Chain A
């Protein structure tokens, strides 16, 4: 459904994309994962027809984003990092305007706006100026605005930035809903967790090229997967806890100290099994957590420790 081959884009001396290859099949969710400055936004801007690549090709539904930009624009929707709804207009005003720009007749635009406002739980606030909306409501309206024209491909540039965890879950649910309807989604993110929660395929990019590609599960295997960390209430229990965890996971603990045991696991079933064993053995536990490797860890694994993701280069958004 969308594909880039050898995409190169330079801004002056900065190379934002250095031969980027991406592919997402129809109805799939592709996460482009990478640190600030990796080229995520640039890639999205090229695919959304906002930026001409210096070389390489990008196609959406077989249409070239440079030569057939106009046709591509009828199929895509862009949801950028910033919310782009108008503060001064009402929620419904914003959506109707987009509908009118998409050549809908007035009545159709109003109906479509109502449909989307209902879906995104905004009907109560439909007539209020967006200036009175909370951050989460704006995000939802922004997403609704991008869906007005029934896009076949949706680009989401770091969709959950600035959302609190509850709101983020809501957004994820909506994104999954879209995917379930057959919309192809390309989302950029800095969070492995987000890619894991949403994507069929993940492309890890760094310095404008793909350094790893695969399903979230494959990627996790590649970077060491998830770990369970347990803190028993009594330090005397630490040995027992370590042996139980090792037995359930079938792996040696990664770390054992006086307070905490960390064991790598595959799949979520280990969580329940371990919990049951602790209860049966009557071992009180103060902390029990399942954690994914951070993007830092993933990067260290994928780039062979060349560098972490935390050196905070600024993203090229120009």
Chain B
């Protein structure tokens, strides 16, 4: 039989509209299929925040809030944000470096698809992974006694905000991945950045009693604002400027890292 020439005309599909979106969806499916066989990153993205939740709850609950029940109401929204941020930092950057090393991206880049499609596909798959991860975290939170004090629309907005922020933040590791091309380096960076970024926040306690330098950091750290905003959306605490700051920071992260990442990635030689 003939492998190639038999149907040369008209077999390869004609270029269709919305190519980038369709190709990204195909590659998102690939990423999710890989996750379902090898769910390490998702498990990690749920286990780590869940462990922090349980540890912090019983370590600080009584001294910070008087009871673990009250403390959970304070702690849980921040844990949710941590879950989304961690999932983003762990999955796409690492997956991309592995694909680059194995030459998979060379194949993708020699196909007539948009150069951003593999990145976008991986990030779209991340969004699905976030949703799953956050749903599990919500389940754990409810098990321990967390209750949404506002309403469904607010709760959904909180989840959307956490995911949007995680998505925007994850472009930083995508850029790093495109530059260093070494998954262990991406993992190391994510781990080191995780500590000040996720813990140097209002996660465990209100920030006003902190020493000056740390207070200054938590104020600068966008994660604080996202946690505050999610806390307000879930439990009805005062919102202040946190939502506006969260969205602004998300937009800045996206505007800076996304073009740089796409550029570095497509220029990569």
Hey, which bits of chain A sit against chain B, CB under 8 A? Answer: 11, 45, 48-52, 70, 73-74, 76-78, 80-82, 84, 86, 88-89, 93, 97-98, 100-105, 108, 112, 115-116, 118-119, 129, 145-147, 149-152, 177-178, 181-183, 318
Contacts and interface: CB of A to CB of B under 8 A. Distances in A.
Nearest to B34: A88
A193 B4 CA distance: 26
B208 interface: no
Contacts of A152: 8
Contacts of A112: 11
Q: Which 3 A-B pairs have the closest CB atoms?
A: A103-B13, A88-B37, A73-B112
Nearest to B19: A103
A86 B269 contact: no
Given A74-B112, A88-B37, A149-B111, 15 more contacts: A49-B110, A51-B269, A80-B103, A88-B34, A93-B33, A97-B27, A102-B12, A104-B13, A115-B3, A129-B37, A147-B3, A147-B4, A150-B7, A150-B12, A152-B8
Given A84-B103, A104-B13, A73 B4 contact: no
B215 interface: no
A80 B106 contact: yes
A178 B26 contact: no
Contacts of B106: 45, 48, 50, 78, 80, 84
Nearest to A183: B4
Nearest to B25: A100
Given A82-B102, A108-B13, A70 B4 contact: no
Contacts of B113: 101
Contacts of A50: 106, 109-110, 269
8 contacts: A88-B33, A88-B38, A104-B11, A105-B13, A147-B4, A150-B5, A151-B4, A181-B3
A109 to B, nearest CB: 9
Contact of B12 (A149, A183, A318): A149
A116 B1 CA distance: 10
B211 interface: no
B111 A98 contact: yes
Contacts of A108: 11, 13
Nearest to B118: A101
Contacts of A51: 269
B25 to A, nearest CB: 9
Interface string B84-117: 0000000000000000001110111111110001
Interface centre among A48, A89, A103 (most CB of B within 10 A): A103
B15 interface: yes
A101 B26 contact: yes
A119 B3 CA distance: 7
Nearest to B181: A318
Contacts of B16: 103
Interface string B234-269: 000000000000000000000000000000000001
A101 B107 CA distance: 11
A82 to B, nearest CB: 4
B209 interface: no
Contacts of B4: 147, 150-151, 178, 181-183
A64 B33 CA distance: 36
Interface in B44-73: none
Nearest to A52: B269
Given A103-B16, A104-B13, A84 B102 contact: yes
Contact of B23 (A11, A88, A101): A101
B3 A82 contact: no
Contact of A78 (B2, B23, B29, B110): B110
Contacts of B102: 82, 84
Interface string B5-41: 1011001111110010011001101100110011000
Contact of B11 (A48, A70, A78, A150): A150
Contacts of A77: 110
Nearest to B26: A100
B103 A48 contact: no
Contact of A101 (B5, B8, B111): B111
B12 A82 contact: no
B98 to A, nearest CB: 11
Contacts of B3: 115-116, 119, 147, 177-178, 181
Nearest to B14: A103
Contact of B34 (A86, A177, A318): A86
Given A119-B3, A151-B4, A145 B37 contact: no
A151 B107 CA distance: 13
Nearest to B33: A89
Contacts of B104: 84, 86
